[in-house]
């Protein structure tokens, strides 16, 4: 066993790194690059019942401090990812599937089909999915989130995870965690999705930089690391029976280490993977090993949740 290897939901991972859903995971070409990379695992693009083209371009832009996107859920439809999951070599590395139905009914259809396929793939349910128009996304509407989890976990009784947007208020951490804790088969919580509805402005052109939603979009990268660490740690403290996957602002091995300290068991890479490509996983693993060596840690399980307070 190498220094970076770990276990999660009964699966063995060579290292804690994977892509954030949405990055390098739309089709078999993208996913093939993740398969052959030095990631410990990888996840498919959030899927819907039917394939979607997504929003008009430009719909993603990198900035010196991160990225903004309003992709609009472009994906090949859940059947495509389920076929890849059927063909996946699970002895090479574990595979996650992200599911983001446009309604509770759509999620139930997808979850039943995935259940009946009886694969080792691990489902991450994206709770940033649309709700009734005029209402916030599911994860910002706690009654809708509770109803979604009740219905999904009733049909799909194997362990699942939920992808959460960031919260910014202690009362919201408390309420979200209390809801998640009512569902024992919600085995992991991935924190965080992009910080929603930000606006990047280009001074020279006096313009927005992405076309959809008058330039509004979710931000990732350097902008979000402290928010991501807070959300990882908030759910790690409140949900002791669950695992947490860290996502947000990871660009160096040091950032991976900080997510582990905050309580993450695995760590996802979004914007930095989009900008650097799948070669980033070899660099992050090397940087993390060097940091663990310098600090005298024998493995990453020793680091998890060891954040000190003052
Ligand atoms: O635009 C997207 O496909 C997207 N971008 C993100 O940063 N996070 C997401 O979860 C998604 C898909 C879900 C949704 C925002 C389109 C409802």
Mutation probe of ligand 1 site: the residue of 62, 126, 268 with most atoms within 8 A of C-beta: 126
Would 179 be classed as within a structural domain?
yes
Contact 216, 241 (CB under 8 A): no
Looking at residue 308, its pLDDT comes to: 99
For the chain, the domain total comes to: 1
Buried/exposed 142-161: b ≥16 CB within 10 Å, e otherwise: eebbbebbeebbeebeebbb
Alpha helices for 118-216 (secondary structure H)? 142-155, 170-181
Specify the residue with its C-alpha closest to ligand 1, atom 3.
Answer: 73
Task: Give catalytic residue positions.
Answer: 129
What pLDDT, on a 0 to 100 scale, did the predictor assign at position 1? 57
Question: Tens place of pLDDT for every residue, the chain, 310 residues?
Answer: 589 999 999 999 999 999 999 999 999 999 999 999 999 999 999 999 999 999 999 999 999 999 999 999 999 999 999 999 999 999 999 999 999 999 999 999 999 999 999 999 999 999 998 888 899 999 999 999 999 999 999 999 999 999 999 999 999 999 999 999 999 999 999 999 999 999 999 999 999 999 999 999 999 999 999 999 999 999 999 999 999 999 999 999 999 999 999 999 999 999 999 999 999 999 999 999 999 999 999 999 999 999 999 9
Closest-lying ligand 1 atom to the alpha carbon of residue 72: 1
Q: Is residue 201 part of a domain?
A: no
Q: For ligand 1, is residue 22 a contact (CB within 6 Å)?
A: yes
Give the Cα separation of 113 and 106 in Å (integer).
11
CATH number, residue 264: 3.20.20.70
Distance 185 CA to ligand 1 centre (A): 24
Helix boundaries (H) for the chain: 28-36, 78-87, 104-117, 142-155, 170-181, 225-238, 253-262, 271-276, 280-295
**Does residue 133 lie in a domain region?**
yes
- C-alpha span between 138 and 149 (Å, rounded): 10
Task: Give the predicted TM-score (pTM) of the model.
Answer: 0.99
Cα separation, 161 vs 188, whole angstroms: 4
> Mutate which of 51, 128, 227 to test ligand 1's pocket (most atoms within 8 Å of Cβ)?
128
Q: Measured in angstroms, how far is the CA atom of residue 194 from the centroid of ligand 1? A: 8
Residue 308 is assigned to a structural domain of this protein: no
Angle CA(47)–CA(51)–CA(55) in degrees, nearest 5? 90
In a domain, 282, yes or no: yes
Q: Is 203 part of any domain?
A: no
CA distance 170 to 191: 15
| Residue-level pLDDT at 275 | 99
Cα(181) to centroid(ligand 1), Å: 25
Burial of 210 (0-12, 13-18, 19+ CB in 10 A): buried
Domain limits for position 160: 6-54+73-195+222-302
What's the 234 CA to ligand 1 centre distance in angstroms?
23
Q: Is the CB of 130 under 6 A from ligand 1?
A: yes
Q: Is residue 188 part of a domain?
A: yes
Within-domain flag for 105: yes
């Amino acid at each position: 066993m190498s220094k970076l290897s770990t276990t999660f939901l009964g699966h063995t991972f060579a290292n804690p790194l994977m892509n954030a859903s949405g990055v390098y995971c739309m089709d078999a070409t993208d996913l093939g690059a993740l398969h052959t990379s030095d990631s410990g695992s990888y996840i498919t693009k959030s899927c819907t019942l039917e394939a979607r083209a997504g929003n008009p371009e430009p719909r993603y832009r990198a900035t010196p401090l991160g990225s903004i996107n309003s992709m609009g859920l472009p994906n090949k439809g859940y059947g495509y990812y389920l076929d890849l999951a059927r063909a996946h070599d699970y002895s090479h590395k574990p595979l996650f599937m992200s599911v983001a139905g446009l309604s509770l009914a759509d999620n139930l259809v997808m979850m039943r089909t995935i259940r009946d396929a009886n694969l080792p793939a691990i489902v991450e349910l994206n709770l940033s999915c649309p709700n009734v128009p005029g209402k916030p996304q599911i994860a910002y509407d706690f009654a809708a989130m509770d109803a979604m989890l009740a219905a999904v976990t009733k049909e799909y009784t194997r362990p699942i995870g939920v992808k959460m947007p960031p919260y910014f208020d202690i009362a919201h951490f408390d309420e979200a965690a209390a809801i998640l804790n009512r569902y024992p088969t919600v085995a992991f919580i991935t924190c965080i999705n992009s910080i929603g509805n930000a606006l990047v402005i280009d001074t020279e052109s006096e313009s927005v930089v992405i076309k959809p939603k008058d330039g509004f979009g979710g931000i990732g990268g350097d902008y979000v690391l402290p928010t991501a660490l807070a959300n990882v740690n908030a759910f790690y403290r409140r949900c002791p029976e669950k695992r947490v996957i860290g996502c947000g602002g990871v660009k160096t091995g040091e950032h991976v280490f900080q997510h582990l300290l905050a309580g993450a068991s695995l760590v996802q890479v979004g914007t930095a993977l989009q900008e650097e490509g799948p070669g980033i996983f070899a660099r992050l693993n090397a940087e993390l090993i060097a940091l663990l060596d310098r600090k005298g840690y024998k493995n990453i399980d020793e680091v998890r949740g060891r954040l000190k307070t003052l």
